[in-house]
Amino acid sequence: MTPSCTRHTRAARVRQDVAPATGGTELLDPNVRLVVGQHRLAARGLVPGRWWLIACLVSGLALAACDPFPVPYEPDRADIEVTVGASGAAHMALFLPTRFHRPDLQRIGRLAAVAAFSPAEHAHSGIDPNGSGNPFVVIDAQTAYSPGARPTFHFDVAALQSVLLAQGVTKVSLRVCAPAVPLTITAVPTPNSLENRCASWDNLTPSGASVVINMHPAPWHWWGEIGLMVVGFVAAGTGVLVFLGKQMTSRRRLLAASLAAFALVVSGVGVATAAARQADNLGVAGNLSGSGLALATWSPLLLVPLGPLSLVLLVITLSTRRPPPRRPVE
């Protein structure tokens, strides 16, 4: 059985009277010098403290990344989140109160799929186990809109609210988010929040809400990011070649530093403009889908490592001094 971080700490405190002659890993305290032999740690299944610290940090990050989605604590409230995809699909997450169990969620999910989407949109419902949290309903509509030059997505929550009202759910919040493309959102009634391509209502009236998203994809945005990435890598590569030349003169050092700085700026611009999200334009326009769209989404992320690499090249170039001239041999 793997010991916990607490067990290691307690074991270290018990060994405060161990003589320094045992040798091994030293654990220093402001008042007490503690020396514990590595062989004694291994015999008890313990490892040096720095590895336990790393293990604890990794475990904490993993737990933070796996936090379950919250569900409403009020017995008469539901939260609806609709995410419009970049290839014509739409995903809905329906968070219901904890009083509903899995059979209830499956039944409500089937009713909600019919109420929220038309038969032509091929919606299917399911249950997300939500890790250590409470499960919730998920609905996927494969053909929520038709990709093209000017596609439109329409969503009306009134019929879905009627289904929820029959289950005793009278309070409903709604959030509808669109892909990362140029667009206009028309919503009735006026949303409580309309930002980051999302329209949100905190508490809908019984009459519901209607959202129309008119998308205007611009595939050249993605091609621009790809061109920016190529230029950045060419600049960084040229800077490396200049730096590794036969003799580092002041002119060569200035050129290498300029190329590294330019590549660093290119990386920052790509990250700031969310280069990876520009691939949504290709999907919404109908140019790519499936694995091709996934590859187009991930490829601009190469701009992320370009930044640190360019920074390292810039620092090394500026810190390298010009070697003294060689004296002629007499």
Residue range 64-74: mean pLDDT, rounded: 76
Structure token digits, residue 328: 């002629």
Report the distance separating Cα 54 and Cα 206, nearest Å: 52
Give residue 275's pLDDT: 63
275 by Cβ neighbours in 10 Å (0-12 / 13-18 / 19+) ranks as buried
**268: helix, coil or strand?**
helix
Give residue 66's pLDDT: 56
Residue range 277-286: mean pLDDT, rounded: 90
Report the distance separating Cα 179 and Cα 195, nearest Å: 13
Spatial CB neighbours of 70, under 8 Å, sequence gap ≥ 6: 95, 133
Beta strands in 265-316 (DSSP E): none
Nearest by Cα to 171 from 68, 80, 82? 80
161 by Cβ neighbours in 10 Å (0-12 / 13-18 / 19+) ranks as buried
Q: Given pLDDT bands bounded at 50, 70 and 90, which one contains residue 191?
A: very high
Using DSSP bridges, classify how beta strands 152-156 and 171-177 pair: parallel, antiparallel or unpaired.
Answer: unpaired
Domain boundaries, the chain: 5-65, 77-215, 220-319
Report the distance separating Cα 175 and Cα 169, nearest Å: 17
Report the distance separating Cα 92 and Cα 80, nearest Å: 7
Residue range 199-206: mean pLDDT, rounded: 92
User: Tokens 């590794």 map to which residue?
Assistant: 244
Residue range 140-168: mean pLDDT, rounded: 95
| Residue 23 DSSP label | -
Q: Tell me how far CA of residue 184 lies from CA of 178, 195, 310, in angstroms.
A: 10, 11, 38
User: Tokens 């590569």 map to which residue?
Assistant: 237
Q: Given pLDDT bands bounded at 50, 70 and 90, which one contains residue 135?
A: very high
User: Tokens 């500026």 map to which residue?
Assistant: 318
Beta strands in the chain (DSSP E): 25-28, 33-36, 77-84, 90-95, 123-128, 136-141, 152-156, 171-177, 183-188, 193-195, 198-201, 210-215
User: Tokens 């971080």 map to which residue?
Assistant: 5
Give residue 329's pLDDT: 58
Q: Tell me, yes or no, if the pTM score tops 0.85.
A: no
Residue range 111-132: mean pLDDT, rounded: 93
**C-beta of residue 121 within 8 angstroms of C-beta of residue 166:** no
Structure token digits, residue 201: 């209502």
Q: What is the DSSP string of 126-169?
A: EEE--TTS--EEEEEETTSS--SSS-EEEEE-HHHHHHHHHTT-
Angle at 312 between CA 309 and CA 317, to 5 degrees: 125
Report the distance separating Cα 27 and Cα 9, nearest Å: 11
Give residue 322's pLDDT: 59
CATH class of 77-215: mainly beta
Backbone phi, psi, residue 148, to 5°: 175, -165
Average pLDDT, the chain: 80
Give residue 48's pLDDT: 43
